[in-house]
Structure 1
Amino acid sequence: MHNFEKRRDRYNAFASFENPLVNLSFELTVPDFRPYCKANGLPPFHFFLYHVLHALQGIDNFMYRIHQGEVIKIDDFMASYTVINQDQNLNFARFEMSADLNEFIARSVASKRIAEASEKVINTSEALSEYDQRRNIHITCMPWLKLNSIEHPIYQHKTYDIPSLAWGRFSEPRDDGKLAMTMAVQAHHGFVDGYHVHLLAEAISAGISRTMS
Protein backbone atom coordinates (compact mmCIF):
# COMPACT_ATOMS: atom_id res chain seq x y z
CA MET A 1 0.00 0.00 0.00
CA HIS A 2 3.05 2.28 -0.03
CA ASN A 3 2.27 3.42 -3.57
CA PHE A 4 -1.34 4.14 -2.64
CA GLU A 5 -0.31 6.41 0.23
CA LYS A 6 1.40 8.62 -2.35
CA ARG A 7 -1.98 9.27 -3.95
CA ARG A 8 -4.30 9.06 -0.97
CA ASP A 9 -5.02 12.79 -1.25
CA ARG A 10 -6.14 12.25 -4.87
CA TYR A 11 -8.34 9.37 -3.74
CA ASN A 12 -9.89 11.48 -0.99
CA ALA A 13 -10.66 14.22 -3.51
CA PHE A 14 -12.38 11.93 -6.02
CA ALA A 15 -14.09 9.85 -3.31
CA SER A 16 -16.06 12.96 -2.37
CA PHE A 17 -17.61 13.08 -5.85
CA GLU A 18 -21.08 11.68 -6.47
CA ASN A 19 -19.59 9.96 -9.54
CA PRO A 20 -15.83 9.38 -9.18
CA LEU A 21 -15.52 7.11 -12.21
CA VAL A 22 -13.29 7.83 -15.19
CA ASN A 23 -14.20 6.34 -18.58
CA LEU A 24 -11.74 6.23 -21.47
CA SER A 25 -12.21 4.76 -24.93
CA PHE A 26 -9.17 4.52 -27.17
CA GLU A 27 -7.70 2.60 -30.08
CA LEU A 28 -5.61 -0.27 -28.76
CA THR A 29 -3.00 -1.60 -31.16
CA VAL A 30 -1.30 -4.94 -30.55
CA PRO A 31 0.66 -7.43 -32.66
CA ASP A 32 -1.72 -9.42 -34.85
CA PHE A 33 -1.88 -12.58 -32.74
CA ARG A 34 -4.45 -14.43 -34.84
CA PRO A 35 -1.95 -16.24 -37.12
CA TYR A 36 -0.02 -17.31 -33.99
CA CYS A 37 -3.22 -18.60 -32.41
CA LYS A 38 -4.17 -20.49 -35.56
CA ALA A 39 -0.74 -22.10 -35.81
CA ASN A 40 -0.86 -23.18 -32.16
CA GLY A 41 -4.52 -24.19 -31.94
CA LEU A 42 -5.42 -21.40 -29.52
CA PRO A 43 -8.80 -19.59 -29.52
CA PRO A 44 -8.01 -15.88 -30.15
CA PHE A 45 -10.52 -14.44 -27.66
CA HIS A 46 -9.21 -16.50 -24.76
CA PHE A 47 -5.60 -15.77 -25.76
CA PHE A 48 -6.32 -12.05 -25.75
CA LEU A 49 -8.27 -12.28 -22.48
CA TYR A 50 -5.26 -13.93 -20.84
CA HIS A 51 -3.05 -10.98 -21.76
CA VAL A 52 -5.61 -8.36 -20.74
CA LEU A 53 -6.15 -9.85 -17.29
CA HIS A 54 -2.47 -10.48 -16.60
CA ALA A 55 -1.62 -6.95 -17.68
CA LEU A 56 -4.18 -5.65 -15.15
CA GLN A 57 -2.59 -7.77 -12.41
CA GLY A 58 0.75 -6.07 -12.98
CA ILE A 59 -0.51 -2.51 -12.34
CA ASP A 60 -1.22 -1.68 -8.69
CA ASN A 61 -3.78 1.00 -9.51
CA PHE A 62 -6.17 -1.56 -11.01
CA MET A 63 -5.86 -3.72 -7.88
CA TYR A 64 -7.07 -1.18 -5.31
CA ARG A 65 -10.53 -1.71 -3.83
CA ILE A 66 -12.76 -0.27 -1.10
CA HIS A 67 -13.47 -2.88 1.57
CA GLN A 68 -15.37 -2.07 4.76
CA GLY A 69 -14.72 1.63 4.27
CA GLU A 70 -10.95 1.23 3.81
CA VAL A 71 -8.78 1.07 0.70
CA ILE A 72 -7.08 -2.30 0.23
CA LYS A 73 -4.95 -3.87 -2.49
CA ILE A 74 -6.16 -7.27 -3.60
CA ASP A 75 -3.55 -9.91 -4.46
CA ASP A 76 -5.47 -11.46 -7.32
CA PHE A 77 -8.91 -11.62 -8.90
CA MET A 78 -11.22 -14.14 -10.50
CA ALA A 79 -11.37 -14.18 -14.27
CA SER A 80 -14.86 -13.42 -15.55
CA TYR A 81 -16.56 -12.14 -18.67
CA THR A 82 -19.94 -11.92 -20.33
CA VAL A 83 -21.28 -14.77 -22.47
CA ILE A 84 -24.36 -15.14 -24.69
CA ASN A 85 -26.26 -18.28 -23.69
CA GLN A 86 -28.37 -20.64 -25.82
CA ASP A 87 -31.34 -18.28 -25.55
CA GLN A 88 -29.28 -15.29 -26.72
CA ASN A 89 -29.37 -13.86 -23.20
CA LEU A 90 -26.54 -12.47 -21.12
CA ASN A 91 -24.70 -14.81 -18.78
CA PHE A 92 -21.38 -14.80 -16.92
CA ALA A 93 -18.35 -17.07 -17.13
CA ARG A 94 -16.07 -17.17 -14.10
CA PHE A 95 -12.98 -19.16 -13.20
CA GLU A 96 -9.76 -18.96 -11.20
CA MET A 97 -6.81 -17.34 -12.93
CA SER A 98 -3.72 -19.29 -13.99
CA ALA A 99 -0.28 -17.98 -14.95
CA ASP A 100 0.04 -20.80 -17.48
CA LEU A 101 -1.46 -19.78 -20.82
CA ASN A 102 -2.75 -23.22 -21.81
CA GLU A 103 -4.28 -23.88 -18.38
CA PHE A 104 -5.89 -20.43 -18.40
CA ILE A 105 -7.42 -21.06 -21.81
CA ALA A 106 -8.69 -24.50 -20.81
CA ARG A 107 -10.39 -23.06 -17.72
CA SER A 108 -11.80 -20.15 -19.72
CA VAL A 109 -13.25 -22.37 -22.46
CA ALA A 110 -14.78 -24.74 -19.89
CA SER A 111 -16.35 -21.83 -17.98
CA LYS A 112 -17.72 -20.35 -21.21
CA ARG A 113 -19.42 -23.63 -22.13
CA ILE A 114 -21.10 -23.85 -18.73
CA ALA A 115 -22.39 -20.27 -18.99
CA GLU A 116 -23.60 -20.82 -22.56
CA ALA A 117 -25.55 -23.93 -21.52
CA SER A 118 -27.25 -22.35 -18.51
CA GLU A 119 -30.73 -20.87 -18.94
CA LYS A 120 -30.46 -19.14 -15.56
CA VAL A 121 -27.97 -16.38 -14.87
CA ILE A 122 -24.95 -17.78 -13.03
CA ASN A 123 -21.72 -16.54 -11.46
CA THR A 124 -23.24 -13.38 -10.02
CA SER A 125 -21.71 -11.82 -6.91
CA GLU A 126 -24.52 -12.53 -4.46
CA ALA A 127 -23.08 -15.86 -3.28
CA LEU A 128 -19.59 -14.44 -2.71
CA SER A 129 -18.23 -13.04 0.53
CA GLU A 130 -17.92 -9.27 0.77
CA TYR A 131 -14.17 -9.57 0.24
CA ASP A 132 -14.45 -11.92 -2.74
CA GLN A 133 -16.87 -9.50 -4.36
CA ARG A 134 -13.95 -7.09 -4.45
CA ARG A 135 -11.80 -9.73 -6.20
CA ASN A 136 -13.33 -8.99 -9.54
CA ILE A 137 -12.78 -7.39 -12.93
CA HIS A 138 -15.71 -6.82 -15.28
CA ILE A 139 -14.99 -7.83 -18.88
CA THR A 140 -17.24 -7.74 -21.91
CA CYS A 141 -16.51 -8.21 -25.61
CA MET A 142 -18.85 -7.31 -28.46
CA PRO A 143 -17.22 -8.81 -31.58
CA TRP A 144 -20.19 -7.90 -33.79
CA LEU A 145 -19.71 -4.14 -33.34
CA LYS A 146 -17.04 -1.58 -34.05
CA LEU A 147 -17.14 -0.16 -30.55
CA ASN A 148 -16.85 3.59 -30.04
CA SER A 149 -17.72 3.87 -26.35
CA ILE A 150 -19.80 2.22 -23.65
CA GLU A 151 -21.57 3.18 -20.44
CA HIS A 152 -21.76 0.34 -17.94
CA PRO A 153 -24.73 -0.07 -15.59
CA ILE A 154 -23.74 1.00 -12.08
CA TYR A 155 -25.75 0.31 -8.92
CA GLN A 156 -24.10 3.10 -6.96
CA HIS A 157 -21.44 5.30 -8.54
CA LYS A 158 -19.97 6.78 -5.38
CA THR A 159 -18.56 3.54 -3.97
CA TYR A 160 -18.01 1.65 -7.22
CA ASP A 161 -14.46 0.30 -7.32
CA ILE A 162 -14.40 -2.62 -9.79
CA PRO A 163 -12.63 -1.81 -13.09
CA SER A 164 -14.71 -2.56 -16.18
CA LEU A 165 -13.20 -3.22 -19.62
CA ALA A 166 -14.90 -3.68 -22.97
CA TRP A 167 -13.78 -4.07 -26.55
CA GLY A 168 -15.45 -4.64 -29.88
CA ARG A 169 -14.62 -6.00 -33.30
CA PHE A 170 -10.97 -6.37 -34.28
CA SER A 171 -9.75 -4.50 -37.33
CA GLU A 172 -8.46 -6.18 -40.45
CA PRO A 173 -4.69 -6.82 -40.31
CA ARG A 174 -2.75 -3.62 -40.95
CA ASP A 175 0.28 -3.22 -43.19
CA ASP A 176 2.50 -2.87 -40.11
CA GLY A 177 1.42 -6.24 -38.74
CA LYS A 178 -0.71 -4.68 -36.02
CA LEU A 179 -4.26 -5.36 -34.98
CA ALA A 180 -6.49 -2.55 -33.72
CA MET A 181 -9.69 -2.37 -31.69
CA THR A 182 -11.47 0.14 -29.50
CA MET A 183 -10.83 -0.59 -25.83
CA ALA A 184 -13.01 1.06 -23.19
CA VAL A 185 -11.76 1.24 -19.60
CA GLN A 186 -13.82 2.40 -16.63
CA ALA A 187 -12.31 2.70 -13.14
CA HIS A 188 -12.44 4.73 -9.93
CA HIS A 189 -10.51 7.94 -10.61
CA GLY A 190 -9.22 7.89 -7.06
CA PHE A 191 -7.15 4.88 -8.12
CA VAL A 192 -6.70 5.16 -11.88
CA ASP A 193 -5.63 8.05 -14.10
CA GLY A 194 -5.33 8.19 -17.87
CA TYR A 195 -1.62 7.41 -17.46
CA HIS A 196 -2.43 4.05 -15.88
CA VAL A 197 -4.73 3.21 -18.80
CA HIS A 198 -1.76 3.98 -21.06
CA LEU A 199 0.38 1.59 -18.97
CA LEU A 200 -2.30 -1.07 -19.36
CA ALA A 201 -2.35 -0.69 -23.14
CA GLU A 202 1.46 -0.95 -23.25
CA ALA A 203 1.43 -4.02 -21.00
CA ILE A 204 -1.17 -5.86 -23.09
CA SER A 205 0.84 -5.30 -26.27
CA ALA A 206 4.15 -6.24 -24.61
CA GLY A 207 2.70 -9.43 -23.15
CA ILE A 208 1.40 -10.55 -26.53
CA SER A 209 4.77 -9.80 -28.13
CA ARG A 210 6.63 -11.87 -25.50
CA THR A 211 4.33 -14.86 -26.00
CA MET A 212 4.75 -14.74 -29.76
CA SER A 213 8.54 -14.29 -29.72
Structure 2
Amino acid sequence: MNNTGLLNKIDVTTWKRREHFEHFSALDDPSWGLVIDVNCTVAAHAARSRKSSFFLLCLHAALKATNATPELGYRLVDDEVCCYGPLHASATIMRADETFGCCFIEYIADFKEFAANAREQIELVKARSGMCLENDLRHDQVFFSSLPWLKFSALTFARNLKDGGIPKFIFGKASEQGNEKLMPVALQVHHGLADGLHVARFFERFQTALDNC
Protein backbone atom coordinates (compact mmCIF):
# COMPACT_ATOMS: atom_id res chain seq x y z
CA MET A 1 0.00 0.00 0.00
CA ASN A 2 1.39 3.40 -1.00
CA ASN A 3 0.61 5.76 1.89
CA THR A 4 1.81 8.93 0.14
CA GLY A 5 -0.91 11.53 0.65
CA LEU A 6 -3.04 9.33 2.92
CA LEU A 7 -5.28 11.57 5.04
CA ASN A 8 -7.51 9.09 6.85
CA LYS A 9 -9.60 5.97 6.45
CA ILE A 10 -13.38 5.68 6.42
CA ASP A 11 -15.02 3.27 8.86
CA VAL A 12 -17.26 1.50 6.36
CA THR A 13 -19.34 -0.09 9.14
CA THR A 14 -20.71 3.34 10.12
CA TRP A 15 -20.47 5.03 6.72
CA LYS A 16 -23.77 6.40 5.40
CA ARG A 17 -22.84 5.01 1.97
CA ARG A 18 -22.01 1.54 3.26
CA GLU A 19 -24.81 -0.21 1.36
CA HIS A 20 -24.06 1.70 -1.84
CA PHE A 21 -20.35 0.97 -1.52
CA GLU A 22 -20.88 -2.75 -0.93
CA HIS A 23 -23.42 -3.03 -3.74
CA PHE A 24 -21.32 -1.41 -6.44
CA SER A 25 -18.04 -2.92 -5.26
CA ALA A 26 -19.52 -6.40 -5.76
CA LEU A 27 -20.15 -5.77 -9.47
CA ASP A 28 -17.84 -7.12 -12.17
CA ASP A 29 -17.11 -3.53 -13.18
CA PRO A 30 -18.12 -0.90 -10.60
CA SER A 31 -17.03 2.05 -12.74
CA TRP A 32 -19.25 4.56 -14.46
CA GLY A 33 -18.55 7.62 -16.52
CA LEU A 34 -19.90 10.39 -18.69
CA VAL A 35 -18.88 13.14 -21.10
CA ILE A 36 -19.64 16.79 -20.40
CA ASP A 37 -18.93 19.80 -22.60
CA VAL A 38 -17.20 22.47 -20.54
CA ASN A 39 -16.98 26.10 -21.58
CA CYS A 40 -13.30 26.90 -22.01
CA THR A 41 -13.71 30.32 -23.68
CA VAL A 42 -11.99 32.19 -20.85
CA ALA A 43 -9.20 29.61 -20.60
CA ALA A 44 -8.53 29.78 -24.34
CA HIS A 45 -8.36 33.58 -24.20
CA ALA A 46 -6.08 33.44 -21.16
CA ALA A 47 -3.76 31.00 -22.92
CA ARG A 48 -3.44 33.32 -25.92
CA SER A 49 -3.03 36.54 -23.95
CA ARG A 50 -0.49 35.07 -21.51
CA LYS A 51 1.23 32.91 -24.14
CA SER A 52 0.60 30.02 -21.80
CA SER A 53 -0.37 26.40 -22.39
CA PHE A 54 -4.10 25.84 -22.86
CA PHE A 55 -3.66 22.24 -21.72
CA LEU A 56 -1.91 23.27 -18.50
CA LEU A 57 -4.57 25.90 -17.76
CA CYS A 58 -7.28 23.26 -18.12
CA LEU A 59 -5.28 20.69 -16.16
CA HIS A 60 -4.72 23.13 -13.30
CA ALA A 61 -8.42 24.03 -13.22
CA ALA A 62 -9.36 20.34 -13.18
CA LEU A 63 -6.95 19.60 -10.35
CA LYS A 64 -8.26 22.55 -8.37
CA ALA A 65 -11.81 21.19 -8.72
CA THR A 66 -10.68 17.64 -8.00
CA ASN A 67 -9.01 18.69 -4.77
CA ALA A 68 -12.20 20.52 -3.75
CA THR A 69 -14.25 17.32 -4.25
CA PRO A 70 -13.34 14.87 -1.44
CA GLU A 71 -15.00 11.86 -3.07
CA LEU A 72 -12.53 12.00 -5.97
CA GLY A 73 -9.79 11.32 -3.43
CA TYR A 74 -11.38 8.13 -2.09
CA ARG A 75 -9.51 4.92 -2.93
CA LEU A 76 -10.22 1.27 -2.25
CA VAL A 77 -6.97 -0.12 -0.85
CA ASP A 78 -6.70 -3.60 0.68
CA ASP A 79 -10.50 -3.65 1.16
CA GLU A 80 -10.41 -0.33 3.04
CA VAL A 81 -11.75 3.03 1.87
CA CYS A 82 -8.88 5.50 2.18
CA CYS A 83 -8.97 9.26 1.67
CA TYR A 84 -6.05 10.87 -0.16
CA GLY A 85 -4.97 14.44 -0.75
CA PRO A 86 -3.71 16.68 -2.07
CA LEU A 87 -4.30 15.05 -5.44
CA HIS A 88 -1.85 15.39 -8.30
CA ALA A 89 -1.94 14.51 -12.00
CA SER A 90 -0.57 11.63 -14.00
CA ALA A 91 -0.88 12.97 -17.55
CA THR A 92 -0.05 11.32 -20.85
CA ILE A 93 2.51 13.32 -22.83
CA MET A 94 3.04 12.87 -26.57
CA ARG A 95 6.56 12.63 -27.96
CA ALA A 96 7.92 13.50 -31.39
CA ASP A 97 8.02 9.79 -32.30
CA GLU A 98 4.26 9.53 -31.57
CA THR A 99 4.69 7.43 -28.44
CA PHE A 100 3.60 8.76 -25.07
CA GLY A 101 4.81 8.64 -21.51
CA CYS A 102 3.03 9.21 -18.20
CA CYS A 103 4.09 12.41 -16.47
CA PHE A 104 3.54 12.96 -12.74
CA ILE A 105 2.64 16.63 -12.26
CA GLU A 106 2.33 18.00 -8.74
CA TYR A 107 -0.67 20.18 -7.97
CA ILE A 108 0.47 23.63 -6.85
CA ALA A 109 -2.23 26.22 -6.15
CA ASP A 110 -0.30 29.05 -7.81
CA PHE A 111 -0.60 28.55 -11.57
CA LYS A 112 2.77 30.08 -12.48
CA GLU A 113 4.60 27.73 -10.10
CA PHE A 114 2.46 24.81 -11.25
CA ALA A 115 3.14 25.50 -14.94
CA ALA A 116 6.89 25.96 -14.43
CA ASN A 117 7.17 22.63 -12.64
CA ALA A 118 4.86 20.92 -15.15
CA ARG A 119 6.93 22.10 -18.13
CA GLU A 120 10.07 20.75 -16.48
CA GLN A 121 8.49 17.35 -15.81
CA ILE A 122 7.02 17.19 -19.32
CA GLU A 123 10.43 17.79 -20.92
CA LEU A 124 11.90 14.99 -18.82
CA VAL A 125 9.24 12.57 -20.09
CA LYS A 126 9.72 13.72 -23.68
CA ALA A 127 13.44 13.01 -23.39
CA ARG A 128 12.82 9.43 -22.29
CA SER A 129 11.33 6.38 -23.95
CA GLY A 130 8.70 3.97 -22.73
CA MET A 131 5.62 4.65 -20.63
CA CYS A 132 7.34 6.02 -17.49
CA LEU A 133 5.15 4.11 -15.04
CA GLU A 134 7.25 4.54 -11.89
CA ASN A 135 4.48 6.56 -10.19
CA ASP A 136 1.65 4.33 -11.41
CA LEU A 137 0.92 2.87 -7.96
CA ARG A 138 0.43 6.21 -6.21
CA HIS A 139 -3.09 6.70 -4.88
CA ASP A 140 -2.73 10.48 -4.49
CA GLN A 141 -3.03 11.04 -8.22
CA VAL A 142 -5.70 11.30 -10.90
CA PHE A 143 -5.19 10.09 -14.46
CA PHE A 144 -5.43 12.57 -17.33
CA SER A 145 -5.16 12.14 -21.06
CA SER A 146 -6.14 14.25 -24.04
CA LEU A 147 -7.48 13.74 -27.55
CA PRO A 148 -7.04 17.21 -29.06
CA TRP A 149 -7.79 15.83 -32.53
CA LEU A 150 -11.30 14.55 -31.75
CA LYS A 151 -14.59 15.98 -30.55
CA PHE A 152 -16.46 13.14 -28.85
CA SER A 153 -19.75 12.68 -27.02
CA ALA A 154 -19.08 9.23 -25.55
CA LEU A 155 -15.95 7.34 -24.61
CA THR A 156 -14.82 4.14 -22.89
CA PHE A 157 -11.65 3.78 -20.84
CA ALA A 158 -9.10 1.02 -20.51
CA ARG A 159 -9.81 -0.10 -16.95
CA ASN A 160 -7.63 -1.62 -14.25
CA LEU A 161 -10.02 -2.97 -11.63
CA LYS A 162 -7.14 -3.12 -9.13
CA ASP A 163 -6.22 0.57 -9.26
CA GLY A 164 -8.32 1.46 -6.23
CA GLY A 165 -10.82 3.52 -8.18
CA ILE A 166 -8.51 6.32 -9.36
CA PRO A 167 -10.60 8.79 -11.42
CA LYS A 168 -9.73 9.07 -15.11
CA PHE A 169 -10.15 12.15 -17.28
CA ILE A 170 -9.81 12.73 -21.01
CA PHE A 171 -9.91 16.18 -22.59
CA GLY A 172 -11.21 16.29 -26.17
CA LYS A 173 -10.93 18.78 -29.01
CA ALA A 174 -12.04 22.31 -28.15
CA SER A 175 -14.28 23.76 -30.85
CA GLU A 176 -16.09 27.01 -31.54
CA GLN A 177 -19.86 27.16 -31.02
CA GLY A 178 -21.07 30.66 -31.69
CA ASN A 179 -18.99 32.99 -29.55
CA GLU A 180 -17.95 30.23 -27.17
CA LYS A 181 -15.32 27.52 -27.16
CA LEU A 182 -16.48 24.17 -25.78
CA MET A 183 -14.42 21.11 -24.93
CA PRO A 184 -15.70 17.58 -24.20
CA VAL A 185 -14.36 16.13 -20.97
CA ALA A 186 -14.80 12.46 -20.11
CA LEU A 187 -14.64 11.30 -16.50
CA GLN A 188 -14.75 7.78 -15.09
CA VAL A 189 -15.09 6.99 -11.38
CA HIS A 190 -15.73 4.01 -9.10
CA HIS A 191 -19.46 4.02 -8.30
CA GLY A 192 -18.83 2.64 -4.83
CA LEU A 193 -16.81 5.76 -4.06
CA ALA A 194 -18.52 8.54 -6.02
CA ASP A 195 -22.09 9.10 -7.20
CA GLY A 196 -23.63 11.44 -9.74
CA LEU A 197 -24.03 14.23 -7.18
CA HIS A 198 -20.31 14.22 -6.45
CA VAL A 199 -19.42 14.24 -10.15
CA ALA A 200 -21.87 17.09 -10.75
CA ARG A 201 -20.23 19.09 -7.96
CA PHE A 202 -16.84 18.46 -9.54
CA PHE A 203 -17.99 19.78 -12.92
CA GLU A 204 -19.52 22.87 -11.30
CA ARG A 205 -16.20 23.58 -9.59
CA PHE A 206 -14.26 22.82 -12.77
CA GLN A 207 -16.37 25.28 -14.75
CA THR A 208 -15.89 27.94 -12.07
CA ALA A 209 -12.13 27.40 -12.16
CA LEU A 210 -12.09 27.62 -15.97
CA ASP A 211 -14.09 30.85 -15.82
CA ASN A 212 -11.54 32.36 -13.44
CA CYS A 213 -8.25 31.38 -15.06
TM interval, short-chain normalised: 0.7 to 0.9
- Separation (CA, whole Å) in 1 of partners of 2:126 and 2:115: 16
- Separation (CA, whole Å) in 1 of partners of 2:53 and 2:107: 17
- In structure 1, what is the equivalent of residue 187 of structure 2? 185
Identity of aligned residues (%): 23
- In structure 2, what is the equivalent of residue 62 of structure 1? 72
- Separation (CA, whole Å) in 2 of partners of 1:11 and 1:153: 22
2:154 alignment partner, one of 124, 149, 158: 149
1:36 aligns with 2:46: yes
1:102 alignment partner, one of 107, 112, 130: 112
Q: Which amino acid aligns with 1:185?
A: L
- 1:110 Cα deviation after fit: 1.4
**Runs (4+) off by over 4 Å:** 1-4
1:117 aligns with 2:122: no
8 Å CA contact retained: 2:100, 2:130: no
- In structure 1, what is the equivalent of residue 173 of structure 2? 169
Q: How many residues in Structure 1 have an aligned counterpart in Structure 2?
A: 203
8 Å CA contact retained: 1:167, 1:183: yes
8 Å CA contact retained: 1:78, 1:136: yes
2:139 alignment partner, one of 127, 134, 142: 134
8 Å CA contact retained: 1:86, 1:117: no
8 Å CA contact retained: 1:154, 1:160: no
- Separation (CA, whole Å) in 1 of partners of 2:37 and 2:177: 14
Moved more, 145-154 or 47-56: 145-154
Q: Which amino acid aligns with 1:45?
A: F
- Separation (CA, whole Å) in 2 of partners of 1:148 and 1:33: 21
Which sections of structure 2, spanning at least 5 residues, go unmatched? Answer: 1-9
For 1:165, what is the secondary structure of its paired residue?
strand
- In structure 1, what is the equivalent of residue 3 of structure 2? none
- 1:138 Cα deviation after fit: 0.7
Label 1:188 to 1:2 Cα distance change in 2 as closer, same or farther (>3 A): same
For 1:33, what is the secondary structure of its paired residue?
helix
What root-mean-square deviation, in Å, do the aligned CA atoms of Structure 1 and Structure 2 show? 2.2
Label 1:193 to 1:145 Cα distance change in 2 as closer, same or farther (>3 A): same
Label 1:31 to 1:8 Cα distance change in 2 as closer, same or farther (>3 A): farther
For 1:72, what is the secondary structure of its paired residue?
strand
Normalised TM-score (structure 2) = 0.86
Normalised TM-score (structure 1) = 0.86
8 Å CA contact retained: 1:147, 1:167: no
Flag the structure with higher helix content.
1
For 2:39, what is the secondary structure of its paired residue?
strand
- 1:116 Cα deviation after fit: 1.6
Moved more, 163-172 or 146-155: 146-155
Q: Which amino acid aligns with 2:64?
A: H
For 1:172, what is the secondary structure of its paired residue?
strand
- Separation (CA, whole Å) in 1 of partners of 2:211 and 2:135: 34
Which sections of structure 1, spanning at least 5 residues, go unmatched? Answer: none
